[in-house]
Structure 1
Amino acid sequence: MVTGRISFIGAGPGAADLITVRGAKRIAEADIVVWAASLVTPECVTEHARADAELVDSSRLTHEQALEIYRRAERDKLNVARVHSGDPSLWGAVQEQYDSCVKLNVEVEIVPGVAAFSAAAAAVGRELTVPEVAQSLVLTRLEGGKTPMPDGEKVREFAKHGTTMALFLSAARTGQLVEELRAGGYEDDTPVLVSYKVTWPDELMVRTTLGDLEADVKKHKLWRHTLFIIGKALTAGGTRSHLYHAGHFHTFRKADKTARRALRAERAEKAQSAEKSDSEEGEPRKPKESDAAWWAVRDWQETARGAARFGASRTIPIEQDESQTELFGEQCVEAVQTAAEPASPEAERTETPAEIPAEAPAEAAQSDSGQGDESSTAATKPAPNRSKTSAQRKSSTSAKSSSNKRKAPAKSASTAKSKSTTDRKSAAKPDEQSD
């Protein structure tokens, strides 16, 4: 059975009326209220706590002493409200306390609060994420303090993003902070908001620039309760958000057609303006993903077309693999080479041999394999209906010109050897077909 309850409450930046309703309710129900008197205004506690509640100032407590209070809550079934400034999730030293309380037989919870950077932005009427100016917010602090910073979490590294930054716990070393921000890329004219004890009665808000930041901090003698916000979003107007634009649609609202067309035209104009600006500065425009996809498809199409035209325009000689002569006869190799070569007037005047029947490749294979005079003699014997006269071949060539242009028939080894050298040219070797 769980006994008692411990609530870690974010009291906000300081003002008593900026605490959440849940946080105020937990304080009103608490038997013991532990609060940081140096970071939370007294009114935040006294306006909500019971008259008989025990109030403990945590600024004088150690972690072990705070644990004794939590153990007493378990033993006596008490409700404890541990009040932190701002939001407990940011530099609140809450995690170690929460983990210790989980081991006890008590109910444990965390009540979020208003963060100091949010209150500072509200105090000067600024949005920290202005469209097309800054869409990110970096929360960090200067390295070199009591708590070491992890590797890679340097102010100058975060500053390279150029977006809005909120820097806590850094006012005591403002000179070092300025140098780190400059090293990261911020210019001296970058606007800076100095927020001291925001929402407290003695609140101080100073607008300055990075170049004057150190002098202004020394002028006002600030070193505690000070927050710095830096970035162009503090002064830039930006553009209208599309969230409530009539041309923008979402789950609960349809877009107006006229406004939608106007919004698209505005986006296109901005894109053209950005492209023109990049070209004037001499910087190449970065290709968009849609452009890359379009060019990829176009390159693929051109490659496919080129492969289809390759047989008609190639001039690369076809090499014959001697180890494959048993599979492909001479007439097969010549047929491939002839089909790959472009037509020429001399080739058109050359007599075209007849097509070889299905059983011819067997004879040609024997000729190519070099079996001796016997196979050569058998190959030179005329076969019935296997060859045509010169006139018949010319007639057949003119009658079937369209088909012969697409596919040239293979040359028969027997026909080529039976013709005289005066009627035809000597057959070229496979390696010479492209000459």
Structure 2
Amino acid sequence: MTVHFIGAGPGAADLLTVRAVRLIETSQVCLYAGTYLDAAVLDHCPPGASRIDTAQLDLDEITAHLVAAYERGQNVARLCSGDPSIYSALAEQTRRLDAHGVPWDVTPGVPAYAAAAARLGVELTVPEVVQSVVLTRAHARSTQMPASEALANFAQTRATLVLHLAIRHVPELVENLIPEYGVDCPVVVVYRASQPGELVLRGRLGDIAERVEAAGLRQAAVIIAGAAVGRARGGDSHLYDSRRDRGSVG
């Protein structure tokens, strides 16, 4: 018996990996975050599987379900929105499972920001314009951010900035970004990327807060700011430059 931490992608059932689908289909228990997933993802569960929405559960309650399944000899699909490598509470959950002697593994998934970029048809790194992507989040009623990771510090890089769990705090975010990025910096908000209720809001740092407020967005959205989302025209990639010396072949 194994607990499979599975990246369920941005929510769309057809953006799961082949491995993820195979593991879900062979798990008698499925724990998932109903807030972020399209219900169609659960169609991959086998008949009779126990489905548990973790939206209202704390870590100890989630752990109790995982341990109980282990004691019953059942495999578990623990679905994480996006990819388990960021903001999935993977560290906390696996630490608890290790203490109980419960085996686990991890299957990656499509991150929400990648689905958002695909929807926009943009590359987040543009030659000679921006070559870094910062993945971070807002802090309000959530885990404390390290002092060194203040948004104003990241803004100094002027990299493409991807903000998770931040849709309720857009005015404060804008205030921190404008000094470095400017009021005309392109910003895109993608709500429920890849899902049936998807919504895309395009704007500038100077007006995106008003657009978000008018749309009434409160959760499940990714904010991407920077020249790349405005389709900034950069140079050509050195990798594919016709003048690049590719050496001899053979």
Q: Deviations over 1:94-128 (max 9, x none)?
A: 21111111233432101111111111111010000
Separation in 2, partners of 1:212, 1:152:
28
After superposition, residues 155-304 of structure 1 pair within 5 angstroms as 155-183=151-179, 185-234=180-229, 235-250=231-246
Separation in 1, partners of 2:49, 2:153:
47
Separation in 2, partners of 1:33, 1:252:
53
Picking from 2, 19, 23, the partner of 2:16 is 19
Separation in 2, partners of 1:124, 1:232:
13
Q: Which moved more, 1:141-150 or 1:94-103?
A: 141-150
Q: Name the structure 2 match of 1:44.
A: 41
Separation in 2, partners of 1:5, 1:211:
49
Separation in 2, partners of 1:252, 1:175:
55
* 1:231, distance to aligned residue in structure 2 (A): 0.5
Q: TM-score, normalised by structure 2?
A: 0.94
SS at match of 1:23: helix
After superposition, residues 2-401 of structure 1 pair within 5 angstroms as 4-46=1-43, 48-183=44-179, 185-234=180-229, 235-250=231-246
Residue 185 of structure 2 aligns with an amino acid whose one-letter code is T
* 1:214, distance to aligned residue in structure 2 (A): 1.1
* 1:251, distance to aligned residue in structure 2 (A): 7.2
8 Å contact from structure 1 (residues 141, 170) kept in 2: yes
Separation in 2, partners of 1:250, 1:108:
44
Distance 1:78 1:251, change over 3 A: farther
8 Å contact from structure 1 (residues 156, 182) kept in 2: no
Structure 1 residues without counterparts, runs of 5 or longer: 255-435
Which structure carries more relative contact order (alpha carbon 8 Å, separation 6+)?
A: 2
Separation in 2, partners of 1:250, 1:119:
33
* 1:250, distance to aligned residue in structure 2 (A): 4.6
Structure 2 residues without counterparts, runs of 5 or longer: none
CA RMSD of aligned residues (A): 1.6
Give the helix-richer structure, 1 or 2.
1
8 Å contact from structure 1 (residues 172, 224) kept in 2: yes
SS at match of 2:239: coil
Give the strand-richer structure, 1 or 2.
2
Give the % identical residues: 37
